[in-house]
Chains A and B, each alone.
Chain A
Amino acid sequence: MKNVIGRDIPEYIEGYGEVRPFKGAYASIDSRTRTTITRRSVKPGNKLEPGETKLLASIEEAVKKTGLKDGMTVSFHHHLRNGDYVTNMVMKVIADLGIKDIHVAATGIFACHEPLVEYIKSGVITGMSVNYISPGPVAKAITKGLLPKPAVFRSHGGRPRAVEAGDLHVDVAFIAAPCCDNYGNINGTQGKSACGVLSYIYPDAQYADQVVAVTDNLVPYPACPIEITQDFVDYVVQVDSIGDPNGIVSGTTRVTSDPIGLKIAAAAAELIDATGYIREGMSFQTGAGGTSLAVAAEVKKRMQAKGVVGSFGAGGITAYFVEMLNEGLFRALFDVQDFDLVSVASAGSNPKHMAMSGSLYGNPHNCGPVVNNLDIMILGATEIDTDFNVNVVTGSDGTIMGASGGHNDTAAGSKISIVVTNLLKGRLCVLRDQVTTVTSPGETIDALVTDRGIAINPRRTDLLEKLKDSNLPIMDIHELKAIGEKLAGKPDPVEYTDRIVGVVEYRDGTVIDVVRQPR
């Protein structure tokens, strides 16, 4: 069958199940369901049997205590990013105990998770779901079809929706805890592996059957401050190290010095200004990429020139946004992860720098996530088509290289969503007749700003009206595509097999696209 944006998707996918087809970005925002779970309760300390304690000696003991067995789902979060040791340590124990057919529900997968490829090959891991994946060994293994079941790609808001609704049932959640006490109170901002807020794992703490905290910084009771509280944590395990500090933070995130990136950023800021979004109380989010931060720098200049104070900055937080907060350009920050040491320190010390759960961030099925309050969103794109559909999941050769993250959540929620990118990346033109994989539907993308021109989504007649006297190089998206193709040539089509290696869920849980294995 074809869904509303014309993507060819089976009604049933082996290893995934019945498909709820995508029906439009806002079609399913009506009612919601919450699953019920059964969890163990913990008696007061003096009633405990001797030796019965939350604090266990090893990950192996925790895996045994939880009764983890074949066919179960285990979950992990990616706030330690490319420095995470916990996922690999836990999966090694699971593999060594001979447990098979595990579904790994990780919020994010990085190059450091290469050991998982062996477990995929040996049948320990048979399914995966992620909201973010970096190009690397695991992404390659999924592209090659090594996983028996298709991987499921969700967004940062879609995953908590799936967990809360029971679509994604987690048997055991493993929380990497930079600071933890022996009764399971956790924060992410203290200790040698401090990584900032732990937002993406909050729904797992609430909805998994069992929760294990893995820490390298066991502190006397109570940990303070507390981000994830003891009433959600079954067991605590102390290990030598939960992560490599060099991989946890991305070093310094900074504004690009590439002249093309700066040109794009300046045009994007001009567009935001010309459409009236630089105003008192404005809210703003960008990714952590150099060009996105360059847009932030340009927007900041215009805020200062106009003397406006923004209401909030949001998303993954970088030093740049912390600086804007501290300079009084925002009244607050909403934070789902911290990319550098400045942000980690700020998250742990500044009350105006607030953690938000993944659900609060982007879940469409609650009383309103923060993306609904967002004015301006700056996004990236691997590909974009003439209907403004964006792909951030696969390269144009079908290789898996990412997942939505907050892309389709923020695009749907924000008042103006702007994709900023070079029109050509090497020889590849980002503008295509059809994107390889749709991540964010075109109805939620308002503008495309490139080094060679700007296209406004024709659905946004209000923006076109505001921009009619602008000097910006605004053109029809087909015209912009023709410029790119004149330089780069028209690509030969890539061939695919029928095998589905990935299912891309929209934030509401409907299937917006599938990833087929390249031939």
Chain B
Amino acid sequence: MKLTKTGEAGAADSGDILVSVAPAEEPGIQIELSGKSVILKQFGRQIRELLQKTAAECGVENARITAKDNGALDFTIKARVRAAIQRAV
């Protein structure tokens, strides 16, 4: 899937994640994840993997994903990434 612009989904509210997906020149999916350190220390690895996996499942090959997490659960993260990708096409 080819991305043409920046797509955004989600919110900065508690329990949500703000995901921005943008086209990238370089191959692969680059992830920039920020959020509360208490969450990133324990779930950062898992959130990164989920972002990566969800983007790949949508057929995205090259992209820059910026995510600001505020305690979102996995199903929220997946939904936000999918929506952001659709808006970036």
* Chain A residues proximal to chain B, CB less than 8 Å: 395-397, 399, 424-428, 487-489, 491-494, 518
What would 6 more interface pairs be, CB under 8 Å, given A425-B71, A427-B71, A428-B42?
A399-B37, A424-B73, A426-B36, A426-B70, A427-B69, A428-B39
B38:A399 contact, CB within 8 angstroms: yes
In contact, B38 and A489 (Cβ under 8 angstroms): no
CB pair B41–A427 under 8 Å, yes or no, is no
Q: Which residues of chain A have C-beta atoms less than 8 A from B73's C-beta?
A: 424, 427, 487-488
Q: Which partner residue on chain B sits nearest A518 by CB separation?
A: B41
Question: Which residue of the partner chain, among A424, A428, A493, contacts B38 with CB atoms under 8 Å?
Answer: A428
Query: Contacts A426-B71, A487-B73, A488-B73; is A395 near B43 (CB within 8 Å)?
Result: no
Nearest A residue to B50, CB-CB: A489
Instruction: Tally inter-chain residue pairs, CB-CB below 8 A.
Output: 44
* Contact B37–A491 (Cβ < 8 Å): no
By CB atoms of chain A within 10 A, which of B14, B36, B39, B42 has the most?
Answer: B42
B71 touching A428, Cβ below 8 Å: yes
Cβ-defined contact, A427 with B45, below 8 A: no
Min CB–CB distance B78 → chain A (angstroms): 13
Q: Which residues of A contact B84 (CB under 8 A)?
A: none
Q: Is the CB of B38 within 8 A of A395?
A: yes
| Contacts A/B (CB < 8 Å), 16 sampled | A396-B42, A397-B41, A399-B38, A426-B70, A427-B43, A427-B71, A427-B72, A428-B42, A488-B73, A489-B74, A491-B43, A492-B44, A492-B46, A493-B42, A494-B41, A518-B41
Interface set of B (CB-CB < 8 Å, partner A) = 14-15, 36-39, 41-46, 69-74
Query: Is the pair B39, A426 in contact by a Cβ cutoff of 8 Å?
Result: yes
Q: Which residues of B contact A491 (CB under 8 A)?
A: 42-43
Question: Closest CB-CB distance, A143 to chain B, in whole Å?
Answer: 11
- Distance between Cα atoms of A362 and B16 in the complex (Å): 41
Note all chain A residues with C-beta closer than 8 A to B45: 492
Q: Determine chain A's interface SS by DSSP, over half rule.
A: loop
Separation of A399 and B42 alpha carbons in the complex (Å): 13
- Which one, B37, B43, B72, B74, contacts A492 given CB within 8 A? B43
Contacts of B43 in A (CB 8 A): 427, 489, 491-492
Smallest Cβ distance from A411 to chain B, in angstroms?
25
B70 engages A489 (CB within 8 Å): no
From A397, A428, A488, A493, B37 is in contact (CB under 8 Å) with A397
In the bound complex, residues from chain B placing their C-beta under 8 Å from that of A428 are: 38-39, 42, 71
Closest-by-CB residue of B relative to A493 is B42
Asked whether A426 lies within 8 Å of B42 as measured between CB atoms, the reply is: no
Distance to closest chain B CB from A487 (angstroms): 6
A493 to B43 alpha-carbon distance, docked (Å)? 9
Q: Which listed residue (B36, B42, B72, B74) contacts A494, Cβ 8 A?
A: B42
| Complex Cα–Cα for A399 and B72 (A) | 21
Contacts of B71 in A (CB 8 A): 425-428
Residue ID in chain A nearest B71 by CB atoms: A426
Interface centre among B38, B44, B74 (most CB of A within 10 A): B38
Contact B38–A397 (Cβ < 8 Å): yes
Q: 10 closest A-B pairs (Cβ-Cβ)?
A: A426-B71, A491-B42, A397-B38, A427-B71, A397-B41, A395-B38, A492-B42, A494-B41, A427-B39, A487-B73
Which residues of the partner chain A approach B41 to less than 8 Å between Cβ atoms? 397, 492, 494, 518
Least Cβ–Cβ distance between A516 and chain B, in angstroms: 14
**Is the CB–CB distance between B46 and A489 below 8 Å?**
yes
How far is B45's CA from A427's CA once the two chains are assembled, in angstroms? 14
Among residues of A, the one whose C-beta sits closest to the C-beta of B44 is A492
Closest Cβ of chain A: how far from B48's Cβ, in Å? Answer: 11
Contacts of B14 in A (CB 8 A): 426
CA–CA, A46 and B44, complex, Å: 72
Question: Chain A contacts of B36 at CB under 8 A?
Answer: 426
Residues of the B chain whose Cβ atoms lie less than 8 Å from the Cβ of A396? 38, 42
